[in-house]
Amino acid sequence: MTLLEVKELEARHGLLKAVRGISFAVGEGETLALVGANGAGKTTMLRTIAGAHPASEGQVLLAGEDVTRLPAHRRVAQGLALVPEGRKLFPEMTVLENLMVAGRRSRTGAWNVETVLEAFPMLKPLRDKRASELSGGQQQAASIGRAMMTNPQVLLIDELSLGLSPVAVDAVYESVTALIEGGATVVLVEQDLQRAMSVSDRVLCVLEGRVVLEAKTGDVTRKQITDAYFGVASTPSNDPARSDSETS
């Protein structure tokens, strides 16, 4: 079952077209990694899907329903949750309070404070600590946990490992991997290509606001992806015709 479908999506920053006619779909239980160089349009795309940035053209469908014109809070209520770049926690609130804020308008589902703390064990001893006092990795775990409190159908994570120490990245990925193995549907923007490929079913590379490569993770090499980063023609083994047309 397709949970998220993006059709010919476009988004602007003033006169700059940051997202240029992007289309893709994500099935239930699937993890899609969005990769690309800085400035490729990945964050704008994720924010536009989540409703934090307006779409100038195209559609966003969640479980078959058009949510393109719904404000962000309505999309959350429909089951679309964004973990933003930079975490964006309420700094003076405790971990528990940050979780509870999201839980107040939660959809019905399995995720609550107890299940979130089980999924992110690093947060258990920190539940009464203010978010401003947490390390980067702890803040990222709290931000993902806050999103899970809404019981999302689709979880959007922007720049999962950005600015984190290697130890923190390991801990956060351990918990995210558990979410994925538990059946979560995830769209992940990640700068660490190796990490992104290790958890994703498919990879989608964006260059200057356009999709230049899309393939199953097992059918594409790191070199093909890095070539696509910089606009070098490359052919994923599962769909040569598509790759040739997209990278031309």
Taken in order of first residue, the domains within the chain and their CATH numbers are: 2-247 (3.40.50.300)
- Give, in order, the Cα–Cα distances in Å from 65 to each of 9, 118, 178, 225: 15, 32, 28, 32
pLDDT surpasses 60 at 41: yes
- Using CB atoms within 10 Å of the CB of residue 178, give its burial: 0 to 12 exposed, 13 to 18 middle, 19+ buried: middle
Angle CA 61–33–110, to nearest 5: 65
pLDDT over 90 for what percent of the chain?
77
Cα separation, 144 vs 239, whole angstroms: 33
User: How is residue 173 annotated by DSSP?
Assistant: H
> What confidence score (pLDDT) does residue 4 get?
98
Residue 4: CA count within 13 A, CB half-sphere: 26
**What is this structure's pTM?**
0.88
pLDDT tens readout for residues 53-85: 999 999 999 999 999 999 999 999 999 999 998
